[in-house]
């Protein structure tokens, strides 16, 4: 697929100072979105918050859509890093505990609600498709591999089960981000998501002896 120059960074940094400027710009963009939402999100506001000139911002990002796209790609990468780290360090923790750790990360460690709503509402899948597809494959592969190692996961087509479980949790949380953000801090919402995973993936307990 041809690269969309409109939403691609204008150029990569060639110095540490340039890399620091980019990080400052992206951090400022996330802050402006959290505080002002999409209606107050402008490149001038971002440059002012980052403490750089508008010319410096445009040196790296051609417009605010490019900023949004890069923030979305970084959120995808953070999702991957968090999920994989939890899965590889889970050890013998019960399925409900592991599911809870991943769900907690998805609920509260991917950025503020203003940023997350802006990405879900404004960033079409095509803007992040290469990164999103790679992250999706990696997370599902790691989930399926973890399932095969666990005695508390039922037998079955683990690759398919991972696809269903990952996307079920992801889509429910995304719907909450957009439509019911208060649910992200609701203990009952977290509990029901864990229940969803455990009931779907968990091995049924043996019936009591007669």
Q: What is the pLDDT along the chain (210 residues), one digit of tens a residue?
A: 334 666 766 677 778 888 999 999 999 999 999 999 898 899 999 999 999 999 999 999 999 999 999 999 999 999 999 999 999 999 889 999 999 999 999 999 999 999 999 999 999 999 999 999 999 999 999 999 999 999 999 999 999 999 999 999 999 999 999 999 999 999 999 999 999 999 999 987 544 455
Q: What is this structure's pTM?
A: 0.88
Beta partners for residue 202, in sequence order: 153
Measured CA to CA, the distance from residue 141 to residue 153 in angstroms comes to: 16
| Superfamily of domain covering 5-201 | Tetracycline Repressor, domain 2 (1.10.357.10)
Measured CA to CA, the distance from residue 119 to residue 54 in angstroms comes to: 22
- The DSSP string of the chain is ----GGGS-S----SHHHHHHHHHHHHHHHHHHHHHTGGG--HHHHHHHHTS-HHHHHHH-SSHHHHHHHHHHHHHHHHHHHHHHHHHT-TT--HHHHHHHHHHHHHHSS--HHHHHHHHHH--HHHHHHHHHHHHHHHHHHHHHHHHH-TTB--S-HHHHHHHHHHHHHHHHHHHHHH-GGGGG-HHHHHHHHHHHHHHHBPPPPPPP-
Share of the chain above pLDDT 90, in %: 84
């Amino acid at each position: 697929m041809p690269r969309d120059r409109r939403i691609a960074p204008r150029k990569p940094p060639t110095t540490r100072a340039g890399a620091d400027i980019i990080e400052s710009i992206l951090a400022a963009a996330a802050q402006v979105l959290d505080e002002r939402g999409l209606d107050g999100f402008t490149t001038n506001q971002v440059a002012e918050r980052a403490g750089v000139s508008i010319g410096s911002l445009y040196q790296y990002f051609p417009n605010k859509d490019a900023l949004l796209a890069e923030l979305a790609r970084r959120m995808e990468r953070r999702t991957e890093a968090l999920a994989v780290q939890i899965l590889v360090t889970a050890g013998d923790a019960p399925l409900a505990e592991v599911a809870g750790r991943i769900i907690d990360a998805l609920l509260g460690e991917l950025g503020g609600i203003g940023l997350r709503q802006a990405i879900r509402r404004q960033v079409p899948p095509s803007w992040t498709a290469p990164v999103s597809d790679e992250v999706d494959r990696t997370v599902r592969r790691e989930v399926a591999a973890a399932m095969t190692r666990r005695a508390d996961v039922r037998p079955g087509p683990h690759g398919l089960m991972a696809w269903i479980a990952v996307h079920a949790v992801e889509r429910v949380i995304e719907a909450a981000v957009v439509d019911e953000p208060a649910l992200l801090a609701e203990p009952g919402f977290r509990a029901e998501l864990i229940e969803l995973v455990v009931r779907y993936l968990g091995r049924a307990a043996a019936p009591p002896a007669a």
